[in-house]
């Protein structure tokens, strides 16, 4: 028998466990019982759908036994057990390596507290034990195995004797120290209360031998104690309980028990429907983004139970993509147990449930926005982008559901606002909903294109997410008001006499602009007098559907189609620079070329676009300076 090393990551987590100063070490029991319950679920489900397996109801249970003399705590289950390979893979390594990265990163920030806030699985046993021994026999297997580990040093696996299928985990409880009392994990009352606190709803009986006392036979005031096996948990799943009986803490505890996230849920939704389709559901809106949320690895879905039996871990069909952040479970009596994944997709009941759930989530979010603005903003910070994808995807099929849930940063309010709020503040003479796109709010604030709109006293929405403009293009309008980029060629603001003025000016400078257009051939579509600039000499605007921000995003995409925005170089004729440009045009064409290129490059820089030839640009700058 040779000693094996833990995988590097597992070792790190183990070290964290062993050295944790976390006070709620008691959660190790929740973790082990939850694993046992999962293992029984697996065998129970197999038995229900496989006729060759027959089981009696009483044969599913978890037993917790403490032995004070030996300082051992044993958790036995009649679950599916593990093969040698499973032992190796499940207990020698940690499956969710990404989550470990997340955990350790956060731990560094927050100290050790984080450990207790989420599930850490099997390894949490090492918070209270020096030695952990697992004896297990898998279903349909002849051999049983013993896995043993003294902590970070490694583990051993050897064949072992065990009659029945299932798993028995024995913890050698640590000696108490001055700071830490470990004896309590051998104490009957304490163990009972931990089980009730975290594992009450587990579907299978959690049994313990409990000491009771009774009057001694033939005596009235003498008592004797005796041992009796009792079931400690009520076994009613939380989702079957009455909402009024449950507290926010209960829901939070369940969220953690289920490992739905590392955070506390921002909001829970408890649904009991007794209509054409009957189901119970507990849904959660998380507070934080899961570390892999905006990656391909993230899988949406709810746990699906049929009458209390887990039939699917992640049923994706229950959630639309735009609510993929929702966690939780659905239990329905109306689903058949041996339903296959494929059948599920076409299941009418499931579709009804999914639709119903979608509406409940929408309503919950609307209520949150109305009644708990701050919480909603926290939510939107985390998952708003997903809602915007939702507006954009499926050719806008869901935009009506989502449009009132959107928020954008407002130039006027200097905070996030909804579209309805924007509309409610619009002056009567304002035709469009104005927006500006850029990398950050700070950068947008400094964009020359915003000057005229702001001068008019109009509010501008800042678009800093890549998806924003695409989503808004899909939305097209809100309450009949169209959206307009502050960089678009026509802002719809100019008054008629001003228009006439600038028309005159344009005629006067026609020759210069045509000349500049030639110098910048292939780069800009036109050179024009700007109606929007106040203090800046130049800016770029666009014509047509593609804006500069969209060009940037499309350019970054893997299947870059070389889509370009039709750019207009706008010149502020009231700026001093314009006079120099004019003079150069009349007297020194070489200088006029130089100025035109410099101005164009400045406009690119302001837009956050790369300068085509930085060396030439700096050479040109030098020329002007000498």
Residue 193: CB minimum distance to ligand ADP, A: 22
What minimum distance in Å lies between the beta carbon of 550 and ligand ADP? 42
Q: Which of 290, 331, 292, 293 lies closest to 312 in space, CA to CA?
A: 331
Minimum distance from residue 480 beta carbon to ligand ADP (Å): 51
503 burial level (CB within 10 Å; 0-12, 13-18, 19+): exposed
Task: Show the site string, 175-204: x = touches ligand ADP by CB under 6 A, - = not.
Answer: ------------------------------
Residue 405's nearest CA partner among 355, 362, 463, 358 is 362
Residues 346-365 that bind ligand ADP (CB under 6 A): none
Contact present, 55 and 192 (Cβ < 8 Å)? no
Q: Which of 62/436 has CB closer to ligand ADP?
A: 62
CB of 25 to ligand ADP, least distance (A): 16
Q: Which region, judged by CB under 6 A, interacts with ligand ADP, from 115-123, 179-187, 386-394, 582-590?
A: 115-123
Residues 551-610 that bind ligand ADP (CB under 6 A): none
Q: Minimum distance from CB of 353 to ligand ADP (Å)?
A: 26
**DSSP secondary structure of 388-424:** HHHHHSGGGTTHHHHGGG-EEEETTTSSEEEHHHHHH
498 three-class SS: helix
- Residues near 45 by beta carbon (within 8 Å), at least 6 away in sequence: 309, 310, 311, 337
Please give the backbone phi and psi of residue 344, each rounded to the nearest 5 degrees, phi first.
-55, -40
Q: Strand, coil or helix: what is 39?
A: helix
Q: Which is nearer to ligand ADP, 310 or 453 (CB)?
A: 310
Q: Are strands 407-410 and 416-418 parallel, antiparallel or unpaired?
A: antiparallel
Q: Toward ligand ADP, which CB reaches closer, 64 or 486? A: 64
The residue nearest ligand ADP at its CB is 121
Residue 88 DSSP SS3? helix
Residue ranges in 423-442 that form contacts with ligand ADP under rule CB under 6 A: none
Output 123 or 585, the one with its CB closest to ligand ADP.
Answer: 123
From CA 552, how far away is CA 250, in angstroms rounded?
48
DSSP string, 202-257: -SS-EEEEEEEEEEPTT-SS-EEEEEEEEE-S----GGGS-GGG--HHHHHHHHHH
Check: CB of residue 152 under 8 Å from CB of residue 51.
no
DSSP 301-354: -EEEEETTEEEEEEEGGGS-GGGTT-EEEEEETTS-TT--HHHHHH-HHHHHHH
Task: State the Cα–Cα distance between residues 284 and 269, nearest whole angstrom.
Answer: 6
Phi/psi of residue 426, each to 5°?
-65, 130
Label residue 171 exposed, middle or buried (CB < 10 Å: 0-12, 13-18, 19+): buried
Q: Considering the complex, what minimum distance in angstroms separates the CB of residue 4 from ligand ADP?
A: 16
The piece of 29-37, 319-327, 501-509, 601-609 that touches ligand ADP (CB under 6 A) is 29-37
User: Which one of 90, 156, 193, 502 is in contact with ligand ADP (CB under 6 A)?
Assistant: 90
Minimal distance in Å, beta carbon 91 to ligand ADP? 6
> Quick check: helix, strand or coil at residue 122?
helix
Cβ nearer to ligand ADP, comparing 147 with 432? 147
Answer yes or no: are the C-beta atoms of 212 and 92 closer than 8 Å: no
Select the span of 116-124, 348-356, 583-591, 593-601 touching ligand ADP (CB under 6 A). 116-124
For the chain, the maximum distance between any two Cα atoms, rounded to a whole number of angstroms, is 127
Q: Which residue, 61 or 617, has its beta carbon nearer to ligand ADP?
A: 61
94 vs 592, beta carbon nearer ligand ADP: 94
Least distance from ligand ADP to the Cβ atom of residue 139, Å: 10
301 and 283 Cβ atoms separated by less than 8 Å: no
Segment lying near ligand ADP (by CB under 6 A), choices 73-81, 236-244, 392-400, 530-538: 73-81
Using the minimum distance from each CB to ligand ADP, give the nearer residue, 107 or 465: 107
Site mask for ligand ADP (CB under 6 A), range 120-159, x = bound? -xxx------------------------------------
> How many residues sit close enough to ligand ADP to count as binding (CB under 6 A)?
16
How many CA atoms does the CB half-sphere of 242 hold within 13 Å?
2
Which of 233/437 has CB closer to ligand ADP? 233
* Minimal distance, residue 534 CB to ligand ADP, in Å: 60
Among 360, 297, 293, 372, residue whose Cα is nearest residue 325? 293
Task: Say if residues 280 and 272 touch (Cβ distance below 8 Å).
Answer: yes
Among 10, 29, 30, 35, binds ligand ADP (CB under 6 A): 35
Contact status, residue 137 vs residue 159, Cβ threshold 8 Å: no
Using CB under 6 A, which of 26, 77, 451, 570 touches ligand ADP?
77
Residue 176: DSSP 8-state: P
* Span between the terminal Cα atoms of the chain, in Å: 82
**What is the closest distance, in whole angstroms, from the C-beta atom of residue 80 to ligand ADP in the complex?**
6
Give the nearest distance from C-beta 147 to ligand ADP in angstroms.
Answer: 10
Q: CB-wise, 100 or 235, nearer to ligand ADP?
A: 100
Helix (H, G, I), strand (E, B) or coil at 488: strand
Of these, 25, 27, 28, 36, which contacts ligand ADP (CB under 6 A)? 36
Does residue 167 bind ligand ADP (CB under 6 A)? yes
Chosen residue from 6, 60, 79, 569 binding ligand ADP by CB under 6 A: 79
Minimum CB distance to ligand ADP smaller for 36 or for 437: 36
Choose the binding region for ligand ADP from 77-85, 101-109, 246-254, 507-515 (rule: CB under 6 A).
77-85
Question: Which CB sits closer to ligand ADP, 91 or 471?
Answer: 91
- Minimum Å distance from CB 37 to ligand ADP? 9
Q: Which residue, 90 or 464, is less far from ligand ADP as judged by CB?
A: 90
Residues making contact with ligand ADP (CB under 6 A):
31, 35-36, 39, 77, 79-82, 90-91, 95, 121-123, 167
């Amino acid at each position: 028998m040779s000693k094996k090393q833990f995988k590097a990551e597992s070792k790190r987590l183990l070290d964290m466990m062993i050295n944790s100063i976390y006070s709620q070490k008691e959660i190790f029991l929740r973790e082990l019982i939850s694993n046992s319950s999962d293992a029984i679920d697996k065998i129970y489900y197999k038995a229900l759908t496989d006729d060759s397996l027959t089981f009696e109801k009483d044969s599913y249970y978890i037993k917790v036994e403490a032995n004070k003399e030996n300082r051992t705590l044993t958790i036995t289950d009649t679950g599916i057990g593990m093969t040698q390979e499973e032992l190796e893979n499940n207990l020698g390594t940690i499956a969710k390596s990404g989550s470990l990265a997340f955990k350790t990163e956060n731990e560094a920030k927050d100290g050790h507290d984080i450990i207790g806030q989420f599930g850490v699985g099997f390894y949490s046993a090492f918070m209270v034990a020096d030695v952990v021994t697992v004896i297990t026999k898998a279903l349909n297997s002849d051999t049983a195995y013993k896995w043993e580990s003294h902590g970070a040093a490694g583990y051993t696996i050897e064949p072992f004797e065990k009659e029945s299928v299932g798993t028995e985990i024995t913890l050698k409880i640590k000696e108490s120290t001055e700071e830490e009392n470990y004896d309590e994990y051998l104490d009957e009352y304490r163990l009972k209360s931990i089980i009730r606190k975290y594992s009450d709803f587990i579907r299978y009986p959690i049994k313990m031998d409990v000491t009771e006392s009774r009057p001694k036979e033939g005596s009235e005031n003498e008592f004797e104690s005796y041992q009796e096996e009792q079931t400690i948990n009520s076994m009613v799943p939380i989702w079957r309980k009455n909402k009024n009986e449950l507290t926010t803490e209960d829901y939070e505890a369940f969220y953690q028990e289920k490992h739905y996230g590392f955070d506390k849920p921002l909001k829970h939704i408890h649904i009991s429907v007794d209509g054409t389709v009957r189901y119970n559901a507990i849904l959660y809106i998380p507070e934080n983004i899961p570390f892999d949320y905006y990656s391909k690895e993230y899988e949406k879905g709810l746990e699906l139970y049929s009458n209390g039996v887990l039939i699917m871990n992640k049923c994706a069909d229950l959630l639309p993509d735009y609510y993929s952040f929702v966690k939780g479970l659905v239990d329905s009596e109306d689903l058949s147990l041996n339903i296959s994944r494929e059948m599920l997709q076409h299941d009418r009941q499931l579709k009804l449930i999914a639709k119903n759930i979608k509406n409940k989530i929408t309503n919950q979010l609307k209520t949150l926005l109305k009644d708990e603005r701050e919480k909603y903003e926290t939510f939107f910070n985390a998952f708003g982008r997903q809602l915007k994808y939702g507006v954009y995807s499926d050719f806008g099929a869901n935009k009506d559901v989502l449009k009132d849930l959107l928020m954008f940063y407002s130039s006027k309010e200097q905070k996030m606002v909804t579209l309805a709020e924007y509309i409610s503040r619009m002056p009567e003479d304002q035709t469009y909903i104005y927006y500006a796109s850029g990398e950050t709010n700070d950068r947008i604030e400094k964009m020359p294109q915003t000057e005229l709109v702001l001068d008019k006293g109009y509010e501008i929405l800042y678009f800093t997410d890549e998806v924003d403009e695409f989503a808004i293009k899909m939305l097209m309008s809100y309450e009949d008001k169209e959206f307009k980029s502050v960089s678009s060629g026509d802002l719809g603001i100019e008054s008629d006499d001003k228009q006439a003025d600038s028309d005159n000016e344009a005629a006067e400078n026609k020759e210069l602009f045509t000349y500049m257009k030639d110098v910048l051939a292939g780069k800009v579509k036109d050179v024009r007098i700007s109606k929007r600039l106040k203090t800046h000499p130049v800016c770029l605007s666009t014509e047509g559907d593609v804006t500069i921000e969209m060009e940037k995003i499309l350019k970054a995409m893997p299947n870059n189609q070389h889509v370009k925005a039709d750019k207009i170089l706008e010149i502020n004729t009231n700026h001093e620079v314009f006079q120099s440009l004019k003079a150069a045009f009349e007297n020194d064409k070489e200088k006029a070329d130089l100025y035109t290129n410099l101005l164009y490059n400045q406009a690119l820089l302001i837009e956050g676009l790369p300068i085509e030839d930085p060396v030439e640009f700096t050479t040109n700058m030098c020329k002007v300076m000498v």
